[in-house]
Amino acid sequence: MAVIRTEHLSHVYSEGTPFVKMAIQDVNLSIEEGEMVGVIGHTGSGKSTLIQHLNGLLKPTSGKIYIDGEDMWADKAKLREIRFKVGLVFQYPEYQLFEETVYRDIAFGPKNMGLSEEEVDKRVRQAAAFVNVTEEMMNKSPFELSGGQKRRVAIAGVLAMNPKVLILDEPTAGLDPKGRDRILGQIQEYQQDQKNTVLIVSHSMEDVAKFAKKVLVMNQSKVFMYDDTEKVFEHASEIEQMGLAVPQVTKIFMRLADMGYPVDPHTYTIQAAKQQVLRLFEEQEAKQKKGGM
C-alpha cells in the first residue's frame, strides 16, 4: 500500500488578494513504503509547498492527502499522530530550532510523543550520533552553531521521532561538497537501516543521481514526472530546459552521443560512465589490432 497518496492536491497562497499564487496544482502522487525519493524542480516550482502538505503543516486548498490510507484532514484528532509519522526537516533550520540547548531541541519531538524520559534520552543520543552531533555541542545554544551544525541538529530532532516517513527540504543547501556527501551518506545509511520512506528535496540533479531510486520532478507548480531515476534521466534535456543543471557526467555523455559515439546519453552515474568508456577503448583497440593484421 502507498504510504503517501495525494488526490488532486492544490494549494493557493493569499487567495482573494492581488498576490494570489497557485503554488501547486492538481498533484496526484502515490509513494510506496521504503522508497528513497529525490524531489527536484526549479526555484518556485512548488517543492516546499508540496512537502509541507505531507505532514499537515499546510492545509490543501483543494484535494486530499492519505497517509497509510487515512484521509489526513478527515479527523483533526488524528493530525497530531500523523505529524509523528511524517517528520519534516525545514528548508531553513533556523525555523526549526528554538530551545535553549541542542539537547533540548533534539528532545522536543520525542518528548511530545509522550515517551519516557529514559527513552527520550536514548533517542536523542542515537539521533545525535547518527549525524555527528557531538557531546560537546549538546549543551550549547543552537544559535551558537555554524550553518552546517544547525542543519545536523535539525535533522537529529526529526530522526529522534523515528518517523515512518522522513522528509528533508534541501538538507545540503549551503554546504561544501564534502559536507553535502556526508549528510546524504548519513541519510542513506539511515534509510537502509530503518527501511523508512525518505523524500529529499534538492536543486542538484548531481546529488539526486547519487541517492534516489525514484525522482519527482516539479515544474511550474505541477508534477512533470514521478518515476524511477533511470527513466527520469531519459528526459535529461527537458529537465535542463526547466533550468535545472543535469550532472556533469550526463552533460558529457549527451555531448559524446551527439558527436556520434555509441554511448547512452542518459548516463548519470560515474560507474555506468566508466563501463562505457572502457568498452569504447576496448572496441577501438580491437579495431586497431584487426587493422594491423
**Shortest Cβ contact with Mg ion: which residue?**
48
* Nearest CB to ligand ATP, comparing residues 99 and 206: 206
Total residues found in the chain within this entry: 293
Query: Which one, 204 or 229, has the nearer CB to ligand ATP?
Result: 204
Element (H, E) at 279: helix 270-292
Instruction: Quote the DSSP letter at residue 245.
Output: P
Q: What CA–CA distances, in Å, run from 220 to 46, 152, 166, 209, 291?
A: 7, 30, 25, 22, 54
User: Footprint of ligand ATP on residues 28-87 (CB under 6 A)?
Assistant: 41, 43-49
Q: Residues in contact with ligand ATP, total (CB under 6 A)?
A: 13
Asked if 219 and 192 count as a contact pair (C-beta separation under 8 A), the reply is no
How does DSSP classify residue 262? S
The strand ranges marked E within 18-107 are 21-32, 36-41, 62-67, 70-71, 86-89
Q: Compute the least distance from the CB of residue 217 to ligand ATP, in Å.
A: 11
Q: Which is nearer to Mg ion, 90 or 211 (CB)?
A: 90
Distance from C-alpha of 226 to C-alpha of 223, rounded to nearest angstrom: 7
Nearer to ligand ATP, 90 or 108 (CB): 90
User: H-helix or E-strand containing 6?
Assistant: strand 2-13
* Residue 15 C-beta: closest distance to ligand ATP, Å: 10
Q: Kindly state the smallest distance separating residue 113's Cβ from ligand ATP, in Å.
A: 28
**89 to 118, contacts with Mg ion by CB under 5 A?**
91
CB of 201 to Mg ion, least distance (A): 6
Element holding 167 (H helix, E strand) = strand 165-169
Choice from 10, 48, 219, 229 touching Mg ion (CB under 5 A): 48
Shortest distance, position 49 Cβ to ligand ATP, whole Å: 3
**β-pair partners for 199:** 37, 167
Report the interface residues with ligand ATP, using CB under 6 A.
Answer: 13-14, 21, 23, 41, 43-49, 91
Report the interface residues with Mg ion, using CB under 5 A.
Answer: 47-48, 91
